[in-house]
Structure formats: C-alpha cells, structure tokens
Copies of this chain bind each other. A is one copy, B any other.
Amino acid sequence: MPDRIQQQLIEARKNQILDAAAVVFAAKGFHPTTTKDIARQAEIAEGTIYNYFDNKTAILLGIFERMKASVVAQAAPPAADVHDVREFLHTFLYHPLMALKADNFALFRIVVSEMMVNEELRRRYYEQILAPTLALAEASIQEQAASQGRSPANLKLTIRVISGMIWGLMLEHIMGDSVVAERWDELPDFLADLLLNGLTDDKI
C-alpha cells in the first residue's frame, strides 16, 4: 500500500476519534469523560484509541490543533485587505464574535477550563493562536499608519485591549448574561462605534 493512502487512513481514524472526543468532552467535560466513553462514541474498541494517541491529554491537544486552523483563518484577516480603521475593526471584531456564536460554547468551555490548569495548552494557545493573531492585527494597522506618516505609540496595548474585549464578552456570555446574549449580533457595530467615538450619550 502506498504511503500516502496509508497516511490518509491514519488521519481518518484520528479524526474519527477526535470527532467522538469532541462530542463527549462537550457533553461531560474533560475529566469526567472516560476513554471508554470516547471509544463508545467513536464505535471502536478502547484499545484502538491508544494506537493513535499516546494518552487522553493528547486527544485534547488534537482537538485543540484542529480548532487552531479554523480559528486563526477566521480571526485574522489578511493584512492587505484592510484599508482604514473602520474596516479593520469590522474584520477584527466581526469574525471572531460570529464564529463563536455559530459554535456551541460547550467545547470552548472545556478547552478554556483545561487551559487555565495546563501549562502546555496555555503556551500553545498563546504561541500558536493569540500571539500570531495580535501580531497580524498590529502589522496591519502599523502599515496603514505608516502610510500616513504616523507610528502610534500605544498600538500594541490597544490591540490587546480590543482582543480582550472579545474574550471578556465571550466569558460573560458563557456565565449566562442575557444582555450580552440577546445583543450578540449587534456587538461588532456597537464595539466599533464605542472604539471610534468613545462613550457617547447613548452609552453612559
């Protein structure tokens, strides 16, 4: 059998296990889920899992790796596409907020929970997702400001504040706040307006 097809079969099995794990993790959480649960959901034997993953934590890391591609692709618009601040805010705010609405939050909760407690997961998230996204956003604005002969001193921190807003609103959503939940779709515009114009009379 050619190596390429062989490789594809292995990938398919891995994905089958990751799909199953995502379902049961989302439903029960990471720790309460047993490897037997995963196997049952994937309709394979428990032992088979260990032909493809070293241990239970490796499965969570596998799920994380798969989330990476989609999150980074959605959250980070190509720098070239951004021509002014309003456009930047729209892409930078709209995509992550809407992506998270589409998913159910359950799996996200599990990953955040483990991340708070697992050094490696935290490091991977920062190095592979958060830092690159922040850097891309920064470069995008940097370039635009430079074309106007400017170099905003607090850009790095500003990017982090904006990114943090999204994180915070997600958490408030997860906590069950109904105001945030009900007005989720308006958030990109609302935040862009707040950022551009500050606390206007309708807000405070």
**Oligomer: number of copies:** 2
A160 pairs with B177, CB closer than 8 A: yes
The contact of A179 among B113, B160, B168, B171, by CB within 8 Å, is B160
Interface residue SS majority, chain A: helix
**A83 close to chain B: CB less than 8 A:** no
- Which of B109, B155, B176 is A123 in contact with, Cβ under 8 Å? B176
- The yes or no answer to A180 lying at the interface (CB within 8 A) is yes
Q: Known pairs A154-B202, A160-B177, A165-B168. 13 more at Cβ < 8 A?
A: A29-B117, A85-B204, A109-B116, A116-B116, A130-B177, A141-B204, A155-B203, A163-B172, A164-B169, A167-B171, A168-B171, A196-B198, A196-B199
A78 to B82, CA, bound (A): 44
**Chain-B contact segment, one of A7-15, A36-44, A54-62, A187-195:** A187-195
Closest 4 CB pairs of A and B: A164-B168, A167-B168, A113-B116, A168-B168
**A95 CB, nearest partner CB in chain B, Å:** 17
Chain A residues close to B by CB (< 8 Å): 29-31, 85, 109-110, 112-114, 116-117, 122-123, 125-126, 130-131, 134, 141, 145, 150, 152-158, 160-161, 163-169, 171-172, 174-177, 179-180, 183, 190-191, 194-199, 201-204
